[in-house]
């Protein structure tokens, strides 16, 4: 053990983060995504879709009780779960694709944790003020004003959280009915419990845990780091341009500005910006940092704007970090500062790490499309498309009628009085259409076989709308026929919808005495 008087703590309290307000392209883009994604989430359960009188009219509905999933014109039965599995695989591959091409864009823009945290921070800023006001409030003692602001903030957060949990349950049952039941306190306890749990998690994750969720609870940051490579475009700091950073004094800044103007004048065309936001939009970048001969300090004036706006509380200038969700707000913040001090934008920018190295060495950078179109991303896209097209194909060749045939193997065959050999099959007939249908059964085989149904002399059955019926089916071979005496005979059982003229079939075998 240590001989120190008091050993260092192995636990650290959470450092509170007070992200500053920021404006710019990426901030506007993120607001747009927030509105669209939250809009989809809250509005979807209320969209109606007419499917006829016997089926629900909710466009998107996960009907667990009747085991159906409705998505607009698509109805998925439990045995078609491969559609959901396929979509999940596509989502996974999509994440691989976007992460290898553009880094953690999922985390930065569309992850629910990011979106709701953004919304909660917005509310926080409306009620408690911007960063400095919030820092002051944080340090202030608990007086009337602090209690008032905190309680107001928490109340608004709670309202958002309840709406979040409330919207979730509407996906699982008819939304208008459930809304009425919820208000009149007659809904199923499961609905209230689900809302309570989701309210609690939204309130705590969005309001208090925030970046802790990303850093300590979410497994993706670790996995995504493994999907990125030097060609991946991500949020980074142009170290060669910014360092050595320094506040500088006014005269130094003035001198730098003058030299900058001079350098600008020497540039290719009048008015042509040396840096136009990102290196990808520019053709002839200067080989070396323009200011290096004349300036002891780099472009970074150490104003901490990038740190102050960061919702993760990190300093992007320290390089790539697991905590960075690439929300790009530091780009907006830094561009703003660069504009003010008359420096070109893009000190913090979307760029590939390989480009950063190239720029530092004065070598030309790869164009954007070369970063996006790489064997890796092309492969991901190809597999993604393949699965997607497969699913679409499967969706369109789906028939309204289906059957499954399971031969009864206990016993393999039955001998009847006259020596006839009988096989038994459990046939499940599925009518996925919205109306009652008459199904006719028949069989085809190279050998002589007969088909009969248990409980009826007919070969037709009425199957009600949207149901499955289990029918015991007998296939027989006369004693003198080949099928009765051989081991196994192939046959195919057909079901035909006599109204819609559609049919389906399944192959199976007939066991004879030779078995």
Interface residue list for another protein (CB under 8 A): 1-2, 4-14, 209, 212, 216, 408, 410-411, 414-419, 422, 424, 454-455, 472, 474, 479
Residue of 362, 338, 361 whose CA lies nearest to 349: 338
Rounded Cα–Cα distance for residues 488 and 511 (Å): 5
CB nearer another protein, residue 381 or residue 412: 412
Q: What's the closest the beta carbon of residue 415 comes to another protein, in angstroms?
A: 6
CB nearer another protein, residue 50 or residue 418: 418
Rounded Cα–Cα distance for residues 26 and 328 (Å): 6
Q: What's the closest the beta carbon of residue 8 comes to another protein, in angstroms?
A: 4
CA 217 to chain centre: 17
CB nearer another protein, residue 23 or residue 415: 415
Q: What's the closest the beta carbon of residue 430 comes to another protein, in angstroms?
A: 17
CB atoms within 10 A of CB 272: 12
Rounded Cα–Cα distance for residues 509 and 490 (Å): 5
Please say whether the beta carbons of 236 and 316 come within 8 A. yes
CB nearer another protein, residue 230 or residue 419: 419
Q: What's the closest the beta carbon of residue 270 comes to another protein, in angstroms?
A: 47
Q: Which residue carries 């194909």 as its tokens?
A: 393
Q: What's the closest the beta carbon of residue 475 comes to another protein, in angstroms?
A: 11
CB nearer another protein, residue 326 or residue 423: 423
Q: What's the closest the beta carbon of residue 216 comes to another protein, in angstroms?
A: 6
CB nearer another protein, residue 13 or residue 189: 13
Q: What's the closest the beta carbon of residue 10 comes to another protein, in angstroms?
A: 6
Write out the E strands in 413-456. 414-415, 421-431, 437-445, 450-453
SS in 3 state form for 312-335?
CCCCHHHCCCCCCCCCCHHHHHHH
CB nearer another protein, residue 12 or residue 226: 12
Please say whether the beta carbons of 422 and 474 come within 8 A. yes
Q: Kindly state the DSSP code that residue 58 receives in the 8-state scheme.
A: B
Q: Could you tell me the CA-to-CA distances from 458 to 16, 80, 320, 454, 467 in Å, in that order? A: 76, 31, 73, 9, 20
């Amino acid at each position: 053990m240590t001989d120190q008087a008091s050993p260092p703590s192995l636990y650290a309290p959470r450092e509170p983060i007070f992200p500053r307000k920021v404006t710019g392209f990426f901030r506007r883009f993120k607001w747009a995504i927030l509105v669209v994604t939250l809009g989809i989430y809250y509005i979807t359960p209320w969209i109606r879709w007419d499917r006829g009188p016997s089926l629900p009219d909710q466009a998107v509905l996960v009907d667990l009780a009747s085991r159906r999933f409705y998505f607009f014109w698509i109805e998925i039965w439990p045995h078609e779960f491969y559609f959901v599995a396929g979509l999940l695989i596509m989502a996974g591959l999509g994440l691989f694709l976007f992460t290898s091409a553009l880094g953690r864009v999922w985390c930065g823009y569309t992850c629910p944790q990011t979106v709701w945290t953004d919304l909660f921070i917005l509310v926080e800023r409306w009620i408690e003020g911007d960063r400095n006001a919030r820092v002051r409030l944080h340090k202030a003692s608990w007086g009337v004003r602090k209690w008032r602001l905190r309680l107001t903030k928490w109340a608004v957060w709670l309202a958002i959280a309840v709406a979040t949990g409330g919207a979730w349950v509407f996906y699982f049952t008819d939304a208008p009915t459930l809304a009425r039941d919820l208000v009149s306190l007659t809904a199923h306890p499961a609905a209230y419990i689900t809302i309570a749990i989701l309210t609690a998690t939204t309130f705590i994750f969005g309001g208090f845990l925030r970046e802790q969720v990303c850093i300590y609870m979410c497994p993706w940051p670790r996995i995504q780091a493994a999907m990125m490579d030097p060609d991946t475009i991500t949020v980074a700091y142009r170290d060669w341009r910014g360092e050595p950073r320094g506040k500088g004094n006014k005269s130094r800044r003035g001198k730098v500005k003058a030299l900058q103007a001079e350098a600008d004048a020497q540039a290719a065309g009048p008015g042509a910006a040396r840096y136009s936001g990102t290196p990808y939009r520019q053709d002839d970048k200067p080989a070396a940092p323009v200011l290096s001969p004349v300036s002891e300090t780099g472009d970074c004036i150490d104003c901490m704007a990038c740190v102050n706006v960061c919702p993760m509380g990190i300093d992007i200038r320290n390089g790539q970090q697991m905590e960075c969700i690439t929300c790009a707000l530091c780009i907006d913040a830094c561009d703003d500062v660069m504009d003010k001090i008359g420096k070109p934008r893009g000190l913090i920018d979307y760029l590939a790490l390989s480009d950063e190295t190239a720029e530092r060495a004065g070598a030309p950078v790869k164009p954007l499309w070369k970063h996006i179109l790489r064997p890796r991303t092309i492969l991901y896209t190809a597999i993604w498309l393949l699965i997607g097209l497969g699913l679409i194909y499967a969706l369109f060749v789906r028939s309204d009628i289906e059957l499954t045939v399971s031969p009864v193997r206990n016993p393999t065959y039955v001998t009847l009085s006259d020596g006839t050999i009988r096989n038994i099959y459990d046939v499940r007939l599925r009518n996925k259409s919205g109306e009652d249908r008459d199904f006719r059964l028949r069989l085809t085989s190279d050998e002589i076989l007969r088909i009969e149904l248990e409980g009826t002399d007919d070969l037709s059955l009425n199957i009600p709308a949207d149901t499955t019926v289990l029918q015991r089916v007998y296939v027989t071979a006369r004693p003198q026929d080949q099928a009765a005496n051989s081991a196994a005979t192939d046959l195919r059982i057909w079901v035909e919808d006599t109204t819609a003229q559609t049919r389906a079939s399944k192959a199976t075998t007939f066991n004879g005495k030779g078995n």
